[in-house]
């Protein structure tokens, strides 16, 4: 029987991997993928806590919300990436530094 | 009739405004319009005066004093003065003279000024003068009198300097104005002192009718140790010496001849210069209470009479001779009022207005004919060329010389008779002055009308009798010079033909000069003797004057050679002008220079110092502003700039950098929270 700690361990590793991807990838699509990993880590956390609290519906609901939110976010972010590509001819986030002070 | 009497001064004022506006507007000059307005205004005044006079004749003598109040002017606690006219026998006589002689002179001016460019301006001034003079004589109180007094001074100034583009004339106008100011200052001081003293006895008033009842309260009052009434009347008299050209303020009148000749006739002979005599006659109740002043008035009057007459001998300018003659005759009038013979003074004022106006207008006619020449040495023999002028001039000369039965005889004789009763010494002076009058007037006539013409050919060719507008006034005035004296036939003469109260003027003026009746009833014998004596003096003077300046011209010439110093002294008018110049005018100018220097050095110095101090202060505050205030402002700007430059490093624009920060801070919070 898996314990809550094992779940939390998996999600922590998943979150850490996501964070690592987001911070190190120069490719915008890669960054997005990292964001998905972070979101999924959070989602798993919610489900796990819901299960160990006696199948609390609220936790599952949050997880579903996060999935929907992630879909919407991916749509918007991909549109931004296309726009970024049109503007700069690249999707390297290191190149898009127009907001540099 | 009396409710229309305000028209008398107002009509000339309206005329003055119309013509003044016309002159000012610069519209094309239409001469008939101008002189119709001016002459119409003064003739209207004359008509109203005449109707008032007729109305008064029908009243009993005690009702012949009416105050016509127009509106309230000053209404203070202690003093009240209305704009009101006092119509009584004295003011009516003056009004008749001013409007009557004034009308005649207005008409004369039409001819005399016919070539003048500033025609409308001239008539505007003339009408304005009549307004002011009528205010002076009609006003019911001293303040209105003073308004008129100043008004005539102003008009006199304007008319003397009428041809102001010549500096000589402008200077003469200024001299007249300034000399008059001296007198006017004394006059207003007198008014103030009188008012102040009257207020202190609880009777503050300036109205003649009330003054008459109040002045006796002042008899024991003193100011700085002198009796108030004496001081007040003396101050008034100084005012009169300015306006009426008496010693020592007479110097402006001869110079006033720079004005147009009709102006000399109206202002500087017939009316304005008699204002002083009128004033003393009007305030007779006050002067009678100040015997010391009366002595001064009489002495100054007779001194002026003889002094001016002597200068008249040596003048060669026809108008200057008449000017000194005017000063001399005014001296007679002051002599008369000074010995208390107010009626005689006013009588001489009236007859003098007639014959002196006639003489001046005659001289104007002569000057007109001589193309502007005024020097008698270049005249002569004009009697055939100017018959009307000659005849009228001769009649007026006989009148002024005092030959029976012309006007001057009666008036001058009455003055001398009263003087003889009071001060025989002054009488002697008066007789001498009368003799002088006869001689210098005949000298004038002889040099102008008799003998051979001494003018150059061009002028001689141009000599012509004046037009009717000029000769008719001459005839009217000559007629008045002949008959005017009949208004005041002395009772001694009336007695001879069985005519009681023959002195019409005296009984007419009696309500004004009511006082102790002449107690001199020493019999008429003395009066007859004096009359014959003065007639003899006048005739002798005429004969002497005529002879000396026609057939025996060698006598005056020899006299001049014999006493060259004396002649030079008199010819230069006793150097009075020069003395005034040296002792008064020059000192005043020097004072002015000092003051100007003071102004330049001290006052300007203070102003400049203030300026310099401000400049230094401004420099310091500017430096402080530049260094400190600007420094602070720049410092804060620089700090912001530097801070921005530092902070900008943080804003890389790379999302991942921001993410590092977020993660790092999150981790820090976690550690801080859970450690």
Shared domain check, B466 and B608 = no
Burial of B385 (0-12, 13-18, 19+ CB in 10 A): middle
Residue numbers of A between 4 and 23 with CB closer than 8 Å to B: 19, 22-23
pLDDT for residue B653 = 81
Shared domain check, B475 and B601 = no
Shared domain check, B559 and B606 = no
Inter-CA distances, B300 with B31, B234, B238, B510, B661, Å: 45, 12, 11, 26, 119
Contact A23 B650 (CB under 8 A): no
pLDDT for residue B76 = 83
Q: pLDDT tens across B591-604, in order?
A: 999 999 999 999 99
Q: Tell me the mean pLDDT in the region B102-121.
A: 91
Is residue B56 in a domain? no
CA–CA separation, B23 and A12 (whole Å): 114
Which residues from chain B sit within 8 angstroms of residue A15, using beta carbons?
none
Which of B540, B571, B602 terminates a domain? The answer is: B571
Is residue B424 in a domain? yes
Contact B652 A101 (CB under 8 A): yes
Shared domain check, B396 and B525 = yes
- Pick the closest to residue B249 from B178, B297, B311, B318 (CA basis): B178
Q: How far is CA B385 from the centre of its chain?
A: 35
- Pick the closest to residue A77 from A19, A41, A30 (CA basis): A30
Q: Which two tokens stand for residue B88?
A: 């009584």
Contact A93 B651 (CB under 8 A): no
Is residue B485 in a domain? yes
- Residues in chain A predicted with pLDDT less than 70, given as ranges, are 1, 101
Pairing label, strands B226-227, B66-75? unpaired
Shared domain check, B655 and B507 = no
Shared domain check, B464 and B563 = yes
Interface of B with A (CB under 8 A): 647-656, 659-660, 663
Is residue B190 in a domain? no
Q: How many domains does chain B have?
A: 2
Asked if residues B407 and B351 have their Cβ atoms less than 8 Å apart, the reply is yes
Q: Tell me the mean pLDDT in the region B558-568.
A: 84
Across the interface, which of A22, A31, A100 has its CB nearest the CB of B652?
A100
Which of B571, B591, B620 terminates a domain? The answer is: B571
Which residues from chain B sit within 8 angstroms of residue A98, using beta carbons?
653
How many residue pairs from chains A and B have C-beta atoms closer than 8 A? Answer: 32
Inter-CA distances, B267 with A29, B156, B284, B383, B448, Å: 120, 7, 24, 27, 24
Burial of B269 (0-12, 13-18, 19+ CB in 10 A): buried
Q: Which two tokens stand for residue A84?
A: 């970024």
Shared domain check, B545 and B457 = yes
CA–CA separation, B307 and B311 (whole Å): 7
Is A91 in CB contact (< 8 Å) with chain B?
no
Shared domain check, B551 and B583 = no
Compare all CA atoms of chain A with the CA of B655 and give the residue at the minimum distance: A93
Q: Which two tokens stand for residue B629?
A: 């205030």
Is residue B433 in a domain? yes
Contact B653 A97 (CB under 8 A): yes
Is residue B556 in a domain? yes
Shared domain check, B567 and B581 = no
Asked if residues B414 and B344 have their Cβ atoms less than 8 Å apart, the reply is yes
Compare all CA atoms of chain B with the CA of A27 and give the residue at the minimum distance: B656
Which of B535, B551, B571 terminates a domain? The answer is: B571
Secondary structure letter of residue B246 according to DSSP: -
Shared domain check, B416 and B377 = yes
Residue B517: pLDDT over 80: no
pLDDT for residue A33 = 93
CA–CA separation, A69 and A88 (whole Å): 28
Which residues from chain A sit within 8 angstroms of residue B654, using beta carbons?
93-94, 97, 100
Is residue B228 in a domain? no
- Pick the closest to residue B122 from B71, B171, B159 (CA basis): B159
Contact A101 B653 (CB under 8 A): yes
Is residue B542 in a domain? yes
Which residues from chain B sit within 8 angstroms of residue A99, using beta carbons?
651, 653
Helical pair B554-562 and B524-549, crossing angle rounded to 10 deg: 90
> Which value does ipTM take for this structure?
0.83
Q: What is the mean pLDDT of chain B?
A: 89
Q: pLDDT tens across B282-330, in order?
A: 999 999 889 999 999 999 999 999 999 999 888 889 999 999 999 999 9
Shared domain check, B441 and B562 = yes
Query: What is the pLDDT confidence band of residue B670, given thresholds at 50, 70 and 90?
Result: very high
Q: How far is B663 from chain A (nearest CA, A)?
A: 9
| CA dihedral sign of residues B332, B335, B337, B343 | negative
Among B283-292, B519-528, B613-622, which stretch is predicted with the lowest mean pLDDT? B519-528
Whose structure tokens read 């004359």? B46
Query: What is the pLDDT confidence band of residue B137, given thresholds at 50, 70 and 90?
Result: very high
Shared domain check, B581 and B548 = no
Which residues from chain B sit within 8 angstroms of residue A94, using beta carbons?
654
Question: Which residue range is the domain that position B598 belongs to?
Answer: 576-666
- Ordered by where they begin, the domains of chain A are 4-88 (1.10.287.3510)
Contact B652 A23 (CB under 8 A): no
Q: How far is A44 from chain B (nearest CA, A)?
A: 21
């Amino acid at each position: 029987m898996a314990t809550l700690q094992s779940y939390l361990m998996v999600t922590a590793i998943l979150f850490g991997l996501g964070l690592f991807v987001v911070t190190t990838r120069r490719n915008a699509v890669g960054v997005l993928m990292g964001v998905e990993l972070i979101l999924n880590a959070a989602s798993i956390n919610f489900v796990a806590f819901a299960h160990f609290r006696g199948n609390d519906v609220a936790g599952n609901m949050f997880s579903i919300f996060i999935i929907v939110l992630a879909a919407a976010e991916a749509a918007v972010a991909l549109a931004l990436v296309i726009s970024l590509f049109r503007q700069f001819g690249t999707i390297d986030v290191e190149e898009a530094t127009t907001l540099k002070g | 009739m009396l409710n229309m009497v305000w028209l008398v001064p107002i009509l000339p004022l309206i005329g003055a405004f119309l013509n003044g506006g016309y002159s000012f507007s610069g519209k094309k000059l239409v001469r008939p319009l101008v002189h119709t307005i001016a002459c119409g205004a003064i003739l209207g005044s004359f008509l109203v005066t005449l109707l008032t006079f007729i109305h008064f004749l029908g009243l009993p003598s005690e009702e012949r004093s009416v105050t016509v109040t127009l509106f309230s002017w000053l209404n203070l606690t202690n003093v009240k003065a209305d704009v009101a006219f006092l119509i009584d026998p004295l003011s009516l006589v003056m009004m008749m003279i001013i409007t009557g002689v004034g009308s005649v002179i207005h008409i004369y001016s039409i001819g005399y000024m016919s070539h003048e460019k500033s025609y409308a301006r001239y008539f505007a001034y003339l009408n304005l003068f009549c307004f002011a003079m009528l205010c002076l004589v009609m006003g019911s109180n001293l303040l209105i009198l003073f308004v008129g007094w100043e008004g005539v001074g102003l008009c006199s100034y304007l008319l003397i300097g009428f041809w102001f583009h010549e500096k000589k004339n402008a200077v003469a106008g200024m001299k007249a104005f300034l000399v008059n100011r001296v007198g006017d200052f004394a006059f207003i001081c007198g008014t103030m002192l009188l008012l102040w003293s009257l207020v202190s006895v609880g009777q503050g008033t300036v109205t003649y009718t009330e003054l008459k009842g109040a002045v006796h309260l002042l008899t024991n009052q003193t100011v700085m140790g002198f009796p108030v009434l004496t001081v007040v009347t003396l101050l008034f008299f100084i005012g009169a010496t300015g306006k009426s050209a008496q010693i020592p303020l007479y110097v402006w009148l001869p110079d006033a001849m720079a004005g147009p000749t009709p102006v000399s006739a109206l202002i500087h002979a017939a009316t304005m210069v008699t204002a002083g005599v009128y004033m003393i006659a009007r305030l007779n109740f006050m002067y009678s209470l100040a015997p010391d002043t009366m002595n001064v008035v009489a002495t100054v009057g007779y001194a002026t009479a003889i002094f001016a007459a002597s200068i008249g001998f040596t003048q060669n300018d026809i108008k200057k001779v008449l000017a000194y003659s005017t000063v001399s005759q005014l001296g007679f009038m002051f002599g008369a009022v000074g010995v208390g013979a107010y009626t005689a003074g006013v009588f001489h004022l009236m007859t003098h207005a007639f014959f002196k106006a006639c003489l001046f207008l005659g001289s104007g006619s002569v000057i007109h004919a001589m193309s502007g020449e005024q020097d008698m040495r270049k005249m002569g023999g004009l009697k055939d060329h100017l018959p009307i002028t000659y005849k009228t001039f001769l009649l007026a000369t006989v009148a002024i010389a005092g030959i029976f039965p012309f006007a001057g005889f009666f008036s001058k004789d009455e003055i001398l008779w009263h003087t003889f009763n009071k001060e025989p010494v002054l009488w002697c002076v008066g007789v001498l002055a009368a003799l002088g009058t006869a001689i210098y007037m005949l000298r004038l006539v002889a040099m102008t009308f008799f003998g051979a013409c001494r003018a150059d050919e061009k002028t001689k060719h141009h000599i012509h009798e004046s037009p009717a507008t000029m000769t008719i006034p001459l005839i009217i005035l000559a007629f008045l010079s002949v008959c005017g004296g009949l208004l005041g036939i002395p009772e001694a003469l009336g007695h001879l033909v069985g005519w009681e109260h023959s002195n019409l003027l005296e009984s007419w003026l009696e309500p004004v000069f009511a006082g102790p009746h002449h107690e001199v009833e020493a019999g008429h014998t003395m009066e007859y003797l004096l009359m014959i004596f003065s007639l003899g003096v006048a005739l002798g003077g005429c004969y002497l004057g005529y002879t000396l300046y026609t057939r025996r011209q060698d006598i005056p010439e020899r006299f001049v050679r014999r006493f060259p110093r004396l002649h030079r002294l008199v010819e230069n008018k006793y150097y009075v002008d020069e003395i005034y110049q040296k002792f008064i005018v020059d000192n005043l100018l020097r004072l002015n220079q000092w003051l100007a220097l003071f102004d330049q050095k001290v006052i300007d110095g203070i102003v400049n110092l203030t300026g310099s101090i401000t400049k230094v202060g401004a420099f310091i505050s500017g430096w402080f502003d530049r260094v400190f205030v600007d420094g602070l402002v720049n410092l804060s700007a620089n700090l912001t700039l530097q801070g921005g430059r530092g902070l900008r490093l943080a804003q890389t624009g790379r999302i991942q950098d921001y993410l590092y920060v977020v993660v790092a801070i999150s981790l820090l919070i976690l550690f801080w929270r859970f450690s």
